[in-house]
Every structure is written in structure tokens, then in C-alpha cells.
């Protein structure tokens, strides 16, 4: 039930959905003043969500604060959600979150993490893909020893990622191991809260990026790319507070 609800939330948390909804209301309602009101709301929402300056301020507030990382970690915990559901074991199709996989490979090669835990199944009821196994196969092909890769293949959401990963680690370690969490910037707040809930301490791997310079276009020029960025951010914000209500964090 929660899985289906999360997909409904993902649909609703799209600025274009309610911008379009108000626009359609503005075209078809009978009362003239209401038509104008709905069209105006649609226009204002479009300007708001396509403004780069507003988005950057909101995202900066949402991002978690970086922590001082250790020189060495027992595990690098890689959260799934980076391959297409049309992928096969021989033909992986990566999405926009694939940077977290690249960071994991580099961290392993730089001896920052001893072993890699890949957590996550398909994230879809309609797919038989086990993402963790596909990603493990890929990492083995590029030269990472199979013995250094651990798969968690049951989870379908972030809370389950934390729960099942903790179970795997508890089997292998009597004492608390050092764990580095690797996911996307927008996802860290919810992910860290889930691991904290089940008492597994993790440090977030936050890649230090050059601060984006705010240009004049960000203030005055609507940019369609930010509609998609807001969709991701709103999904995370709604997901975070939904997890609170459910007791997951």
C-alpha cells in the first residue's frame, strides 16, 4: 500500500501537474473572474518554479551539512535508483543518478572504502529487475573483486535500504563498523534519517562542487530545466515528511 502511495506522491509532486491543472480550470470554468484567477495562478506558479534563483535558495536549505570524513571506512553503502527498468544484465541503461556509482568506484579505488554494499531491488512492482545484482555484475566487469561487493536485494524504498543493510552488516560485524553513505545530494536528508532511525551511524559522502554563480538569467529568465529540478526536490520533501508520519524517521 505504501509503495503505491509513494508512486502517487511522485506524480503529484510535479509542478507541471498543478500548473497545468490551474490552466485547464482557467479555460473551462464558467465564472469569468474565476477563469482569470486560475489563469493568473497558473502563470505565477510557472514563473516561480522556472526561476533559477528561487530554486537554488530552496535547494541550499534542503541539502545536509557536510561532515568531516574519516580516511578509511569499512563499508561504502551505495543506494540504488540509478538504472532504467528496461535494463538487462548485459545492457545497463543509467539514469541521472549514476554519478553516485562513479563516486563509489573512485572511493574504492582510492582505498577510502574496504567493501561496497549495494542496496536495492527494482523499486517497481512491475519489474523483476534486481538492481543491486545488475550493478554488482557491472562492477565485477570493470575490475572490482566480487568478494568486496555485497548485495542487498530485498528493499524497495529508502527505509528498507537502511533496515536490510543493517541486518547484513550485523551478521558480519559484532562491533559498529564505519560506514560511508553514497547517494544523491537531494536524497541525503531522508536517507540519513532512515539509517539513524535503525541506529546505524553513517557519514554522507558529499562531493565538493564549485559554487554555482547566480547569473542575471536566474533572476529574470524562466528556465524549463528548473521545473524538473523542482519535481525531484518536492518528491524528496514530501517523501521526508511522509516517512515522519509513517514512523520511518
Question: Which DSSP string do the residues of the chain spell out, in sequence order?
Answer: -HHHHHHHHHHHS-HHHHHHHHHHHHHH-S-HHHHHHHHHHHHHHHHHHT-HHHHHHHHHHHSPPP-PPPS-EEEEEEE---B-TT--SSS--B-GGGHHHHHHHHHHHTTSEEEEEEE---S-TT----HHHHHHHHHHHTT--GGGEEEE-S--SHHHHHHHHHHHHHHH-SSPPPEEEE--GGGHHHHHHHHHHTT---EE-----PPPPPPHHHHHS--THHHHHHHHHHHHHHHHHHHHHHT--
Average pLDDT along the chain: 86
For residue 89, pLDDT over 80 is answered with no
pLDDT at residue 22 in the model: 93
Confidence band of 101 (pLDDT split at 50, 70, 90):
very high
For residue 126, pLDDT over 60 is answered with no
Mean pLDDT confidence for 168-186: 87
pLDDT at residue 73 in the model: 96
- CATH 3.40.50.620-classified regions of the chain: 73-204
Mean pLDDT confidence for 7-31: 84
pLDDT at residue 43 in the model: 95
Pick 73-204's CATH classification: 3.20.20.70, 1.20.1260.10, 3.40.50.620, 3.40.50.170. Answer: 3.40.50.620
**Whole-structure pTM value:** 0.86
For residue 232, pLDDT over 50 is answered with yes
pLDDT at residue 127 in the model: 55
Amino acid at each position: 500500500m505504501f509503495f503505491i502511495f509513494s508512486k502517487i506522491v511522485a506524480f503529484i509532486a510535479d509542478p507541471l501537474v498543478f500548473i497545468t491543472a490551474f490552466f485547464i480550470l482557467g479555460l473551462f470554468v464558467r465564472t469569468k473572474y474565476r477563469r482569470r484567477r486560475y489563469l493568473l495562478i497558473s502563470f505565477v506558479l510557472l514563473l516561480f518554479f522556472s526561476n533559477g534563483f528561487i530554486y537554488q535558495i530552496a535547494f541550499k536549505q534542503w541539502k545536509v551539512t557536510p561532515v568531516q570524513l574519516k580516511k578509511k571506512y569499512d563499508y561504502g553503502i551505495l543506494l540504488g535508483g540509478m538504472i532504467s527498468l528496461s535494463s538487462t544484465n548485459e545492457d545497463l541503461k543509467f539514469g541521472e543518478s549514476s554519478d553516485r556509482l562513479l563516486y563509489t568506484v573512485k572511493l574504492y579505488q582510492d582505498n577510502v572504502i574496504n567493501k561496497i554494499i549495494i542496496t536495492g531491488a527494482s523499486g517497481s512492482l512491475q519489474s523483476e529487475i534486481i538492481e543491486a545484482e545488475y550493478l554488482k555484475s557491472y562492477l565485477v566487469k570493470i575490475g572490482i573483486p566480487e568478494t568486496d561487493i555485497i548485495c542487498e536485494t530485498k528493499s524497495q524504498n529508502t527505509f528498507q535500504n537502511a533496515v536490510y543493510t543493517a541486518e547484513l552488516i550485523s551478521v558480519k560485524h559484532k562491533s559498529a563498523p564505519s560506514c560511508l553513505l553514497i547517494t544523491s545530494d537531494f536524497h541525503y536528508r531522508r536517507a540519513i534519517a532512515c539509517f539513524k532511525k535503525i541506529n546505524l551511524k553513517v557519514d554522507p559522502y558529499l562531493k565538493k562542487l564549485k559554487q554555482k554563480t547566480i547569473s542575471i538569467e536566474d533572476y529574470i529568465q524562466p528556465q524549463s530545466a528548473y521545473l524538473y529540478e523542482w519535481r525531484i526536490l518536492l518528491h524528496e520533501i514530501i517523501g521526508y515528511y511522509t516517512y515522519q508520519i509513517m514512523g520511518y524517521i
